[in-house]
């Protein structure tokens, strides 16, 4: 075996070392992106002017897991009507809140109370958003993350994703 055995052993050792390194960082990356936070690219007009198509956000996955969501937070969640898609909306009401909602056509829809374990979400672009006014409150379990700050475009880097809180007719109970 001699020379070839030594070379084979060295190559095998190097290959196993690199494989272990890649596997370790792959697991760390997966855990970080699945359970800690992620980077999200916004699509659509529903959150304009706060967020525009192409804006890139850093999201936190820990806050929703511990039930620390608040009115005014911008969240990323699975769409209740298209489970393969994600939506980016603002929380208007949380479980237990009484809510009066203005529809785009001017009618007022009264929903006595948002059920516990659910949230009412709306886009900041009132006229061009499919949200809880259309599909009702969504389960908190659909929330993937809370937007922390924007990292793209460069002029807005590290600005808080929550720029303004919309005025909503709501009566707290």
List residues with catalytic annotation: 46, 89
Of the candidates 145, 35, 146, 143, the residue with the CA atom closest to the CA atom of residue 80: 143
- Tokens (6 digits) for 113: 């109370």
- CB atoms near residue 32 (< 10 Å): 12
CB 172 within 8 A of CB 97: yes
Of the candidates 57, 50, 58, the residue with the CA atom closest to the CA atom of residue 90: 50
């Amino acid at each position: 075996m001699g020379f070839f055995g030594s070379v084979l052993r060295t190559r095998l050792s190097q290959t196993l070392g690199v494989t272990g390194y890649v596997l370790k960082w792959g697991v760390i990356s997966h855990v970080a992106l699945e359970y800690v936070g992620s980077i999200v690219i916004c699509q659509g007009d529903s959150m304009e002017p706060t967020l525009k198509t192409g804006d890139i956000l850093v999201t936190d996955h820990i806050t929703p897991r511990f039930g620390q969501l608040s009115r005014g937070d911008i969240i990323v969640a699975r769409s209740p009507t298209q489970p393969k898609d994600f939506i980016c909306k603002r929380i208007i009401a949380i479980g237990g809140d009484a809510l009066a909602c203005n529809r785009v056509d001017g009618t007022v829809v009264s929903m006595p109370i948002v059920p516990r374990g659910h949230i009412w979400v709306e886009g900041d672009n009132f006229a061009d958003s499919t949200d809880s006014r259309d599909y009702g409150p969504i389960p908190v379990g659909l929330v993937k993350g809370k937007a922390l700050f924007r990292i793209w475009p460069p002029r807005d880097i590290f600005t808080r994703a929550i720029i303004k809180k919309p005025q909503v007719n709501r009566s707290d109970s």
